[in-house]
């Protein structure tokens, strides 16, 4: 089995993500400013989660003005509010959402070797979690499901 992201045109991922972000923001009246779009682009520079300070470092390379942490965190907060990116709390890092625009609880498969991270929508997981919450009389507002391990690629490589 090979990874979904082993061979693909990643420029396509980026441009699609940016285009969809523009569309969604226009629709909702949110202002996708230059800075915010730039940060989104940097988050999408790979399928690996990226830390706020890594984004800051990239911004320093690519932009005129040298940004400070609050600038980056505010852009990230905006992008999270718009559902364009997710924060992975087990890594203190951020990753682009491949299907923004609809509410969802992603389940993340994080490879500890290559760090490539895949967001999955899995019905059975969502259902079992919902029923677990119901059993306990618990009302979920946010679900963080972060699975760390080895992706299929990296398993093969280790054989």
Partner DNA sequence: CGCGCTTTAGTTATAATATAACATCTTTGA
Partner DNA sequence: TCAAAGATGTTATATTATAACTAAAGCGCG
As a dihedral over the C-alpha atoms of residue 57, residue 66, residue 94, residue 156, rounded to 10 degrees, the angle is: -20
Task: Say if residues 117 and 94 touch (Cβ distance below 8 Å).
Answer: no
Task: Say if residues 120 and 105 touch (Cβ distance below 8 Å).
Answer: no
Which among its own copies, DNA, Zn ion, none contacts residue 146 (Cβ within 5 to 8 A by kind)? its own copies
39 by Cβ neighbours in 10 Å (0-12 / 13-18 / 19+) ranks as buried
| 26-34, 72-80, 94-102, 115-123 -> range binding its own copies (CB under 8 A) | 115-123
Taking CB under 7 A as the rule, does residue 120 contact DNA?
no
- Residues 51-70, interacting with DNA (CB under 7 A): 51-53, 65-70
The crossing angle, in degrees rounded to 10, of helices 69-81 and 52-62 is 110
Identity of the residue, 72 or 84, whose beta carbon is nearer to Zn ion in the bound complex: 84
Residue from 13, 30, 125, 143 binding Zn ion (CB under 5 A): 13
Q: In the complex, which residues of this chain contact Zn ion (CB under 5 A)? A: 10, 13, 97, 106, 119
Q: In the complex, which residues of this chain contact DNA (CB under 7 A)? A: 30-31, 33-36, 51-53, 65-71, 73-75, 78, 87, 92
């Amino acid at each position: 089995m090979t990874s979904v992201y082993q061979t693909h045109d990643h420029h396509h991922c980026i441009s699609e993500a940016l285009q969809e972000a523009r569309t969604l923001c226009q629709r909702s009246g949110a202002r996708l400013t230059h800075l915010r779009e730039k940060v989104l682009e940097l988050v999408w520079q790979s399928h690996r989660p990226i830390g706020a300070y890594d984004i800051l470092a990239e911004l320093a390379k690519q932009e005129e003005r040298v940004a400070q942490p609050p600038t980056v965190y505010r852009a990230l907060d905006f992008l999270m509010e718009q559902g364009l990116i997710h924060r992975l709390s087990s890594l203190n890092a951020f990753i682009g959402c491949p299907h923004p625009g609809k509410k969802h609880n992603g389940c993340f498969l994080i490879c500890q070797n290559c760090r490539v991270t895949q967001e999955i929508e899995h019905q059975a997981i969502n259902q079992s979690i919902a029923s677990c919450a119901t059993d306990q009389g618990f009302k979920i507002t946010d679900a963080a499901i972060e699975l760390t391990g080895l992706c299929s690629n990296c398993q093969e490589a280790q054989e």
